[in-house]
């Protein structure tokens, strides 16, 4: 073949490639061991489609720091291509006019996603975000050896829980491994409210923000329970990252931890096995309920055709059964869509799948307050402040209820 023709053909092939391959900048806060392994799978999948992954990782569990970084970037007119945004916040960003339509990747999604999930991913009927998983928040993680030594029975309610905590203390452990950060405090709090008051009370108080439910003896009892939990947490907890608290349970320094099943991602990354090294059980009193936390990536408005193509390919990759399998195996969560091979999922994940389905039918499936699923971000922030203050002071339960009531009115 004529050399000039070859050169021209190669050049045009390169240009064609260049016109669809994009640099896709993705903001996320997945920096712990299990999280980093999970996000690496997304990167791999995007790169397999010929795009370049630009990592915008902002450390800090729960995403508070990431959201601050995101706001700064958007205000300066330079948003990332995609960002880990979830729950009602997706609507908030879409209302600002920041998000782009990814319907071209989402033609089948209405058929694949539970309606509540699909609705959360759409703005004015158009998909603007893609969901990666379902995390369950109301878990308790227990060191299996310590539990065996204490008789082997996981606590079903708070009486049993505190009895076990005393036994762990007697074993010389920090009974409750916790990190003193506001979002972790809120994670414990919501499981306590669910366990003390049940799913309907949880929904009235932390989803509907009903004043009667908030200003009630059940809420007082929830704070009393939280106050008692505080007494089993060590002095070094202030500021501790959640995955370090999980490591305490893993290496036998800590007895148990309240945390969503991203904690399982840490156990898995350390080759620990459920039922052998650790136990995953519903937080006390919450066996018939399920607080869900769905991670998703929202797509920002982009003009360039290659960037748009990158977003659409990212969204398609996220919802593919192959990605949902490998990502969730690493992340500790379960797939958000059907048609995913379940063979490799462990007993905790299998339990999560079964409980998700049964609570969806019988009631008890509730959005996580602490993880941005339930109320607008401003209201959530105000309530989390109250919980954190309660955890870090001698505030009485009565004062906490009053402060909670006031915070619940924040718009």
Q: Which residues of 328-356 are buried (b: 16+ CB within 10 A; e: fewer)?
A: bbbbbbbbbbeebeeeebbebbebbbebb
Distance CA 386, CA 406 (A): 10
Q: Which is nearer to ligand GAL, 308 or 331 (CB)?
A: 331
Question: Longest Cα pair distance anywhere in the chain, in angstroms?
Answer: 87
Q: How far is the CB of 72 from ligand GAL (least distance, A)?
A: 20
Q: Closest separation between CB of residue 179 and ligand GAL, Å?
A: 10
What is the smallest separation between the CB atom of 74 and ligand GAL, expressed in angstroms?
Answer: 20
Positions 24 through 43 that interact with ligand GAL (CB under 6 A):
29-30, 35
Residue 262, interface with ligand GAL (CB under 6 A)?
yes
Residues numbered 45 to 104 that lie near ligand GAL (CB under 6 A) are 61-63
CB of 340 to ligand GAL, least distance (A): 18
Tokens matching residue 308: 């748009």
Question: What residues contact 76, with CB distance under 8 A and at least 6 apart?
Answer: none
Q: Where are the alpha helices (DSSP H) in 115-171?
A: 115-121, 144-149, 158-170
Residue 109 interacts with ligand GAL (CB under 6 A): yes or no: no
Contact call for residue 131 and ligand GAL (CB under 6 A): no
Number of residues that bind ligand GAL (CB under 6 A): 12
Regarding 371 and contact with ligand GAL (CB under 6 A), the answer is yes
Q: Is 261 a binder of ligand GAL (CB under 6 A)?
A: no
Tell me the backbone φ, ψ of residue 175, rounded to 5 degrees. -60, -45
**C-beta of 91 vs 333, nearer to ligand GAL:** 333
CB-side exposure of 409: number of CA atoms within 13 Å?
8
Kindly state whether residue 264 participates in binding ligand GAL, applying the rule CB under 6 A: no
Contact string 289-308 vs ligand GAL (x = CB under 6 A) = ----x-x-------------
- According to DSSP H, which parts of 49-179 are helical? 64-75, 88-95, 109-112, 115-121, 144-149, 158-170
Which residue ranges make up the site for ligand GAL (CB under 6 A)?
29-30, 35, 61-63, 135, 242, 262, 293, 295, 371
């Amino acid at each position: 073949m004529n050399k000039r023709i070859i050169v021209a053909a190669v050049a045009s092939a390169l240009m064609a490639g260049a016109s669809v391959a994009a640099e896709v900048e993705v903001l996320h806060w997945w920096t712990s061991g299990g999280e980093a392994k999970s996000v690496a799978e997304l990167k791999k999948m995007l790169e397999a489609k010929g795009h370049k992954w630009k990592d915008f990782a902002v450390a800090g569990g729960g995403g508070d720091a990431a959201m601050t970084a995101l706001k700064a970037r958007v205000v300066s007119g330079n948003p990332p291509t995609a960002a880990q945004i979830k729950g009602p916040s997706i609507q908030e960003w879409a209302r600002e006019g920041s998000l782009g339509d990814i319907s071209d990747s989402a033609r089948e999604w209405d058929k694949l996603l539970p309606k509540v999930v699909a609705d959360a991913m759409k703005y004015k009927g158009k998909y603007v975000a893609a969901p990666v998983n379902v995390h369950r928040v109301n878990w308790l993680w227990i060191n299996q050896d310590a539990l065996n030594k204490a008789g082997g029975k996981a606590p079903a309610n708070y009486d049993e829980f505190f009895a076990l905590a005393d036994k762990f203390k007697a074993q010389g452990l920090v009974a409750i491994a916790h990190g003193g950060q506001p979002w972790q405090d809120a994670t414990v709090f919501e499981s306590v409210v669910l366990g003390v008051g049940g799913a309907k009370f949880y929904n009235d108080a932390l989803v509907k923000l009903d004043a009667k439910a908030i200003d009630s003896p059940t809420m007082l009892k929830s704070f009393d329970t939280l106050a008692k939990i505080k007494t089993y947490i060590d002095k070094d907890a202030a500021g501790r990252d959640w995955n370090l608290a999980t490591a305490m349970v893993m290496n036998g320094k800590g007895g148990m931890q309240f945390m969503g099943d991203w904690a399982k991602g840490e156990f898995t990354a350390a080759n620990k096995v459920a039922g052998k090294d650790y136990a995953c059980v519903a937080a006390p009193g919450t066996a018939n309920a399920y607080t869900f936390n769905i991670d998703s990536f929202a797509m920002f408005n982009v003009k360039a055709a290659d960037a748009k193509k990158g977003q659409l390919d990212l969204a398609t990759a996220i919802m593919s059964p192959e990605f949902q399998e490998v990502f969730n195996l690493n992340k500790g969560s379960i797939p958000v869509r059907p048609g995913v091979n379940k063979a490799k999922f462990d007993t905790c994940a299998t339990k999560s799948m079964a409980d998700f389905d049964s609570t969806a039918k019988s009631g008890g499936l509730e959005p996580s307050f602490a993880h941005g699923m339930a109320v607008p971000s401003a209201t959530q922030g105000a309530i989390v402040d109250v919980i954190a203050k309660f955890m870090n002071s001698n505030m009485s339960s009565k004062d906490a209820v009053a402060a909670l009531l006031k915070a619940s009115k924040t718009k």
